[in-house]
Amino acid sequence: MSNGHFIQSHGVETSMDIARRQAYHVAPVVGQKRPFTTSQPQEPPKPGAGAHHIALRRPSEISNPPIQESVPLDLARASLAPSASRLTASKIHWGLGAAAPEEERGISNAPGSSQNPLLSLSHPRYGLPTALTANFAALGVNSIYAWQASCLLARGLLSGERHLVYTAPTGGGKSLVADVLLLKRIIENPNRKAILVLPYVALVQEKLKWLRQVVQGVEKGISDEEEDEAAGIHFTRKRWKRLQRSICVTGYFGGSRTTTSWADTDIAVCTIEKANSLINSAIEDCSIGDLGVVVLDELHMLDDEHRGYLLELMVTKLLLLQQDIQIVGMSATLSNTEMLAKWMDAKFYISTYRPVPIDEYLVYENTIYPAATSRQLFRTASKLAVTTSIQDSIPPHRTIEPSAYKELSNSATNAMVALAVETAAAGFGALVFCGSRGACQVHAATISEAMPPLTEENDEMNKRLDLLAELRSLSCGLDPVLQKTIIKGAGFHHAGMTTEERELIAQAYDQGVLRVLVATCSLAAGVNLPARRVIINGARMGRELVGPAMLRQMCGRAGRKGKDDAGETYLICVKADLEAVCDLLDADMPAIESCLAPEKKGLKRALLEAIATGLVSGSEAIKEYVQCTLLYLTLDKKLVYAIMNSALQELVEEGLLLLKEDEAYEATLLGQAVVASAFSPEDGLYVHEELKRALQAFVMDGDMHIFYIFTPLQVAMNNPINWPIFRDQLDRLDESGLRALQLVGVQPGFVNTMVQSGASLKETTLAQVKQARIYRRAYTAFQLRDLSNEVPLTTIAQRYRTPRGSVQTLAQQCHGFAAGIVKFCQRMNWGMLAAVLDHMRDRLEAGARADLLEMAQVTYVKSWTARLLRENGFKKLRSLAEANPKDLVPILMMVNPRQTQKKQLYPTEAERYAAKLLAKAETIIASANKIWDREIQVELEE
């Protein structure tokens, strides 16, 4: 027992049930808990409740008025009316298995720093500056857990002498350990840099914001002697910048361009690809000694078939160098931590501590079964699979009433809605995971119809209306499904949405504006959004059964320290998947394996990069390099050397490496270009063939050839072709565009055949794969063309019948691929082609034609917005900088004209929308002024 909080040890009562009978305030997961209707209980307290009384009714005990089958015209007003919900969530009743346990366990809290001084980061043992610990405290980190202290104080870690590999449950405080080690290294060694590696752009952006808050006002430990030296006349500007006291945190992801150079960066927060490129460049220019620490978050990504080999490459290169560079790797889903630590010659630490307990439940056929552990949940599922009379065999914890509504006739959907609405009604946040993007929208709409109505227009409703206005002000406009669900307090989140939409929705959920968020499993591995209750609607994500690691990631979102004091997970299972769920829940976490195996061809890239950057050359050095790989540790040594020799031979045959007379290897000009552009050997060879053909016959009187060259290979291969749309776009091409596509191998006759036959591309033989790549890239290039010709993103999505988020992802990934293509041309000494492509790269980034490139630098001004501003009198950057914000609002309204009639809007919604646009106009003018001032300064200096 601790702090008066109680959790049932056998999963008999949910944490929300316990919260309701507590006499004191319980903080919700997100935002502030809104007042809930109080009443006398309809049934006596269960045995074991002690002196506690039921202060709140269960949502299942609140009878809702009859629902009218009508679609309200005024969405906001309708949401305030008692009959706004078209559906009523089913009631949830106590089952026979819900008898109170004999004991109650208190929430396990780490002892405070007053009890153990080492649990305060301000303790001298950690050696952190006061400004840093104050920033941590301001961000909610007032003390650390015992396992964090034990890990940090292990010999050689705080001093940077030893590497570290560790694992802890999601929400257990993993990141703080790495943050402390990284920051201490940078502060105490002002000439050294840090690289923090994260798998996804969203995580990079989130971590970037966090670290910048943490280091604000924190100074590096530069000695007085160094400052005196820096003030001398013989000290270079570059060296002076390096000795500035402030800590510079820079983000590297996609094709992003930053005004901060690598030389001026202290902490680089990177995606996997960008981190590998930075390390390659540092090795090549002999500045790798500047690196002090590399943190690898989500270390289980080593096993990822597409990107895992890049992580292994990074670690292998750092291990071979034997520089004073500390490597820190962490994950919540590692099963072979000790083996990975052996590979890295690192200390390892395994923590099972989770500050917020999670109660697990299995939901089957409208019945909820408790499971305090995965093993119990497995046994429950096993019994369900073989028992005919389920409830006779296993007394249920709670039961959900079957629904009379057609929309809720499916037991899984009925259970999902009942559990989500119950959570929202109690003032908490629920995350619902489902298997597809389409399912996210359908389920969010269904849940919203059954959400408890607000009884009056209050602050919560005003925030939802503000969110609607913010979404409406985006260039892509307001999604009609979100328009209906948000007003009820529900939203959805998936990769088909734009980045701006996802950020706004995630922020609204985190702040409590939305009570229910329906998402695909990608959210589990993405941004940090905790919930009181996680509901997994089915064990399949897409067509495939979810794996043990992803299941743990999703369940780990339940309950987060600082947000809540308990968490619950509900796995809703259908009969067809019961046996698979049994196997899933009984499965161990998969061991991490090397991605350099022959079938994945990762070792070819590993060898090419090491040789091209000058890291190794001779046979013995190459063997020593291979011995540093995870592959060498996990496979038979003779087999590894055989794979190595085979890979080297392939690289020589492909013209990427040259075997010299002294048995040493050297990268050819082509091999150097492939590594410099961050392509794999396979992609690099393909790009080389495409560009050689372009050099021989480049279509200069149009842009279509360039769009084809800039189309990212991976994105194109995942982009399904709609053949009638392909034919329609071919028919609309001018002579130049058609000539460009025919030059790369597109045959209009073949497209017509595919339309008439309704067949799909065959990709069995090498020739078929090559042909498929050409047609997929050409089809995707049409979308790139539209993006650069100022066609609104929403129009492109409709034209090609693809999600807006997919179009935006194409644009973002295109930037990185285009940068690689330009660098490839430069390394190959194809200067003219590099110059032409670099100009078009600027157009792609701006999403505009050449005459708008200057204007498109301004915040919020891209593509169609820039064109409208120009056509309405703001032709130059200076005129935009001197504009009145009110004059821009009508133009911004033209970017995304509302189709909704005023009578259908809530009375203040139009004013809110205008206010959001006015705020954007002010930001646009401020950004234009900043760019204009910078250009004036450059002119003056010249």
Q: Domains of the chain, with CATH numbers?
A: 6-101+358-586 (3.40.50.300), 117-350 (3.40.50.300), 598-667 (1.10.10), 669-847 (1.10.3380.30), 853-942 (no CATH)
Write the pLDDT tens digit of every residue in 360-378.
Answer: 888 888 888 877 555 666 6
Poorest-pLDDT segment among 183-197, 405-419, 694-708, 737-751: 694-708
- Which two three-digit tokens encode residue 416? 């999902």
d(CA 913, CA 894) in angstroms, rounded, equals 13
Write the pLDDT tens digit of every residue in 481-497.
Answer: 998 999 999 999 988 89
Looking at the predicted structure, is the pLDDT value of residue 58 above 80? no
Looking at the predicted structure, is the pLDDT value of residue 238 above 70? no
Query: Strands, E, within 487-584: which ranges?
Result: 490-493, 516-519, 533-537, 540-541, 544-545, 567-573
Looking at the predicted structure, is the pLDDT value of residue 675 above 70? yes
Identify the burial level of 32 via C-beta atoms within 10 angstroms of its C-beta, where 0-12 means exposed, 13-18 middle and 19 or more buried: exposed
Q: Determine the length of the chain.
A: 942
Average pLDDT of span 166-186? 92
Long-range contacts, 461-466 (Cβ 8 Å, 24+): 461/76, 461/79, 461/80, 461/487, 463/508, 463/511, 463/513, 464/489, 464/508, 464/513, 464/514, 465/76, 465/906, 465/908, 465/909, 465/912, 466/912, 466/916
Cα of first residue to Cα of last residue in the chain, in angstroms, is 71
d(CA 528, CA 522) in angstroms, rounded, equals 12
What rounded mean pLDDT belongs to the chain? 80
Quick one: which H or E segment has residue 92? strand 92-94
Contact status, residue 679 vs residue 820, Cβ threshold 8 Å: yes
Q: What is the pLDDT of residue 295?
A: 97
Q: Regarding predicted confidence, which is higher, 903 or 332?
A: 332
Identify the burial level of 465 via C-beta atoms within 10 angstroms of its C-beta, where 0-12 means exposed, 13-18 middle and 19 or more buried: buried
Contact status, residue 575 vs residue 542, Cβ threshold 8 Å: no
Write the pLDDT tens digit of every residue in 344-358.
Answer: 999 999 998 888 888
- AA identity, residue 860: Y
Q: What is the pLDDT of residue 342?
A: 94
Write the pLDDT tens digit of every residue in 448-479.
Answer: 999 987 766 678 888 898 899 889 888 788 88
Strands 430-433, 540-541: pairing is unpaired
116 HSE (CA, 13 A, CB side): 14
Q: What is the pLDDT of residue 99?
A: 46
Q: What is the pLDDT of residue 652?
A: 96
- The verdict on pTM exceeding 0.95 is no
Q: What is the pLDDT of residue 535?
A: 94
**Count of CB atoms within 10 A of residue 881's CB?**
19
Q: What is the pLDDT of residue 839?
A: 77
Poorest-pLDDT segment among 169-183, 485-499, 589-603, 682-696: 589-603
Q: What is the pLDDT of residue 598?
A: 73
Highest-pLDDT range among 255-259, 441-445, 545-549, 913-917: 441-445
Contact status, residue 581 vs residue 625, Cβ threshold 8 Å: no
Write the pLDDT tens digit of every residue in 306-328.
Answer: 888 899 999 999 999 988 999 99
Q: What percent of the chain has pLDDT over 70?
A: 80
Q: Regarding predicted confidence, which is higher, 713 or 38?
A: 713
Looking at the predicted structure, is the pLDDT value of residue 609 above 60? yes
Write the pLDDT tens digit of every residue in 827-879.
Answer: 999 988 888 888 777 777 777 777 777 787 888 887 778 888 888 888 888 88
Which sign does the torsion angle of CA 801, 803, 804, 808 carry?
A: negative
Cβ neighbours for 701, distance < 8 A, ≥ 6 positions apart? 736
d(CA 468, CA 515) in angstroms, rounded, equals 15
Cβ neighbours for 677, distance < 8 A, ≥ 6 positions apart? 684, 687, 820, 821, 823, 824, 827
> Strands across the sheet with 430-433, in order?
92-94, 398-400, 367-371, 358-364, 567-573, 533-537, 430-433, 516-519, 490-493
Residue 205 pLDDT class (50, 70, 90 cuts):
confident
Highest-pLDDT range among 33-47, 100-114, 539-553, 743-757: 743-757
Poorest-pLDDT segment among 2-6, 154-158, 197-201, 728-732: 2-6
